[in-house]
Chains A and B, each alone.
Chain A
Amino acid sequence: GNSVTQMEGPVTLSEEAFLTINCTYTATGYPSLFWYVQYPGEGLQLLLKATKADDKGSNKGFEATYRKETTSFHLEKGSVQVSDSAVYFCALSARAGGTSYGKLTFGQGTILTVHP
């Protein structure tokens, strides 16, 4: 079946440091890939997405590239801020019945804490 594996956290960085959160997946076919962010006490927000190989999703300074050859979708940001402190979830949506977006399978989440 489908699965998503994220790097274990928590990740603690100083402000303006470079961020990488690794994500690899297992899926049949060609899934769509997502990063969601959950700020303390809130629901999940879609951060970025990619729907096919070599697509790069980007938003708010975050980027991730769909790498089919390594089945990866690593999240990066060049300079993190304290306000980026949150839990980050990698997820995939397997194609179902010919449509692009089906059920979401989530990774275990990575807690990011950024200190001033």
Chain B
Amino acid sequence: SAVISQKPSRDICQRGTSLTIQCQVDSQVTMMFWYRQQPGQSLTLIATANQGSEATYESGFVIDKFPISRPNLTFSTLTVSNMSPEDSSIYLCSVAHSSNQPQHFGDGTRLSIL
């Protein structure tokens, strides 16, 4: 399976600031996704990152709050904008080599907002 690197692995941020999380894969993948895992909770899909076009957001998530880039088939970024304590979560990137392959996850970014 693909090797997925997420940076940073953790961060502590001030209220009102923004943080960009990077997801790098060691091989080209068709599908990349971003999930949020709030403390003690399950995973919720934020959006599907589409190469060369805008991301597809799930209900409850908007581009202004969570802008996503995907400039090529091995890299994507998620920005958490204008952060508040409610954004304290683990953010995970997942990838699939094709639409017929299961998703594999990075180790996540543990984000705390003070």
Contact = CB atoms under 8 A, between A and B. Distances in A.
Interface in A33-53: 34, 36, 42-46, 49
B33 A103 contact: yes
Given A32-B102, A93-B102, A107-B42, 7 more contacts: A43-B105, A44-B92, A44-B105, A99-B100, A101-B103, A104-B33, A104-B45
Interface residues of A, number: 23
Contact of B92 (A43, A97, A103): A43
Contacts, number: 55
Contacts of A32: 102
Given A34-B102, A101-B99, A101-B102, A42 B107 contact: yes
Interface of B: 1, 4, 6, 33, 41-45, 48, 92, 94, 96, 99-108
Interface string A77-103: 000000000000100010011011111
